[in-house]
Amino acid sequence: MIHNLYIISEGGVAIYSKNFAKSTMDEQLISGFLIAVGSFAKEAVGSGLKKIEMQTGEQLFVHFNETLKLSTAAITSAADYPKVIPKILKKILKQYSEMFKGKIHDITIVEEGPKFDPVVSKLLEDNTAKRDKKRFLLGLLLGSLLLGVLFFLFTPHLIQLITEFYMSIRGPLTDPLDTISILAGFHLTSNLL
């Protein structure tokens, strides 16, 4: 789940921010930090910033669009799939640039941020799956069903392998109880029966 979302100008100003977790982080402080760290990474290593993992388990993803000269950033929980978040950030930035054509570098666009909230909500709703008890139970049921099918498909092969291995050590099996005893994990001799 995305906790915080930012769209940041090239100069480091947060021109859009959405706080889903009701935290008290200052968006301008975060955006300035991201631009500074991204610039440092570009100068030091030759590539920009994509992701920061925090000790709390949260992750910070950054996407920079060279053409628009804008960045999107999101602070997410550790449970979020890291390949999905960058795709969502790209979609959000694309929708933002389409909605505010010609005004994306105007600092007064910050005041128009609430107009973009429904677009963000819709994009997040369309691109994320809810984690609820129903989905968990469905996954558990499907996983158990798949495991059961695989068990029944491979059990005859497993029995054949065990029997062939035992026969290679002991010789041919003459008593049907020998096969059962091999599968049960112990050996019965005809003297005990």
User: What share of residues in the chain are helix, strand, coil (percent, to 5)?
Assistant: 55, 15, 30
| pLDDT band at residue 130 using 50, 70 and 90 as cut-offs | low
pLDDT tens column, 76-88: 887 767 778 888 8
Which of 96, 99, 84 minimizes the C-alpha distance to 6? 96
Whether the per-residue pLDDT at 186 is higher than 60: the answer is no
Read off the pLDDT of residues 46-105 as tens digits, 9 standing for 90 and up. Answer: 667 788 888 887 888 888 888 888 888 888 887 767 778 888 899 999 998 888 887 777
> How high is the pLDDT of residue 191?
45
Q: Return all residues near 103 (Cβ < 8 A) that are at least 6 apart.
A: 109, 112
**Measured between alpha carbons, how far is 163 from 179 in angstroms, rounded to an integer?**
7
* Least confident interval from 5-9, 42-46, 128-132, 160-164: 128-132
Higher pLDDT, 23 or 71: 71
- CA dihedral of residues 176, 178, 181, 187 (deg, nearest 10): 160
Burial class (CB in 10 A: 0-12, 13-18, 19+), 143: exposed
- pTM value is 0.61
Closest Cα to residue 36, out of 68, 15, 62? 62
Name residue 71's beta-bridge partners.
Answer: 8, 64
Q: Taking the domains of the chain in order of start, what are their residue ranges?
A: 2-127, 133-184
Rg, C-alpha atoms of the chain: 29
User: Which amino acid is residue 74, in one-letter code?
Assistant: A
Q: Which fold has domain 2-127?
A: Beta-Lactamase (3.30.450)
Phi, psi angle pair for 158, to nearest 5°: -65, -45
- Contact in structure between 63 and 96 (CB atoms under 8 Å): no
Amino acid code (one letter) for 133: K
